[in-house]
């Protein structure tokens, strides 16, 4: 079952003396944090989920600097190091049609047009041209399938199935 939240960042360290934190964005759009207010702080080591509020955030190079409500010292901010910042699915950004959150793709069963099962999506690899779906196969090496309409015929994240048409010879690589 997919979680009811989406991880959008990882707190990596404290920043300054006012309790701010450095956040590694896990989203394509770091400016997403500017509009985020109600968040969940999700422990990377346990299943702890703490409701929180981002008072403010700003993008600084490849990171985001944020301020959590009620966290006013570096010592207090250090408690949340390695916590994920997440948003509920209701507060997530709207995606264009035929676009999916990576966490909803991972774990989907991949099937050919004839219904035969290839394997499960293990990872989504982002490349310059198009994403690649890394499909784990029982007793065989992983298969990389380009995530383009020519090969990916349908995605149903609710049922957890992806239907593909493989190019000739891809399975033998």
Per CATH, is 5-91 categorized as 3.40.50.300?
no
Q: What is the pLDDT along the chain (173 residues), one digit of tens a residue?
A: 567 889 999 999 999 999 999 999 998 888 777 776 889 999 988 778 899 999 988 888 889 999 999 999 999 999 999 999 999 888 888 888 888 999 999 999 999 999 999 999 999 998 888 899 999 999 999 999 999 999 999 999 999 999 999 988 787 76
Residue-level pLDDT at 144: 94
**Which architecture does CATH list for 102-172?**
Roll (2.30)
Backbone angles phi, psi at 2, to 5 degrees: -75, 145
Question: In terms of pTM, does the model score above 0.85?
Answer: no
What is the Cα–Cα distance from 81 to 20, expressed in whole angstroms? 11
Q: Measure the N-to-C terminal CA separation of the chain; round to a whole number of Å.
A: 32
* pLDDT value, residue 1: 52
- Extract the runs of DSSP E, i.e. beta strands, from 16-150: 20-25, 38-43, 49-60, 63-68, 83-88, 109-112, 117-125, 132-137, 140-146
Joined together, the tokens standing for residue 35 give: 């509009």
Q: List phi, psi (to 5°) of 6.
A: -125, 125
The domain locations on the chain are 5-91, 102-172
170 three-state secondary structure:
helix
Q: In this predicted structure, what is the pLDDT of residue 68?
A: 95
SS3 154: strand
Look at residue 70 in the predicted model and tell me its pLDDT. 95
């Amino acid at each position: 079952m997919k979680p009811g939240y989406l991880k959008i960042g990882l707190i990596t360290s404290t920043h300054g003396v006012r309790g701010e934190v450095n956040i590694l964005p896990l989203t394509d759009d770091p400016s997403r944090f500017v509009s985020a207010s109600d968040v969940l702080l999700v422990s990377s080591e346990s299943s702890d989920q703490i409701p929180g509020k981002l008072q403010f955030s700003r993008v600084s190079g490849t990171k985001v600097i944020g301020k959590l409500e009620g966290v006013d010292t570096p010592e207090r901010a250090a408690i949340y190091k390695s916590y994920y910042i997440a948003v509920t699915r209701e507060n997530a950004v709207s995606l264009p049609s035929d676009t999916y959150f990576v966490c909803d793709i991972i774990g989907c069963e991949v099937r050919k047009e004839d219904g035969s099962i290839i394997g499960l999506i293990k990872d989504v690899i982002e490349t310059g041209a198009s994403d690649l779906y890394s499909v784990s196969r029982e007793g065989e090496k992983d298969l990389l399938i380009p995530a383009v309409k020519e090969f990916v015929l349908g995605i149903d994240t609710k049922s957890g199935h992806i239907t593909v048409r493989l190019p000739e010879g891809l399975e033998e690589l």
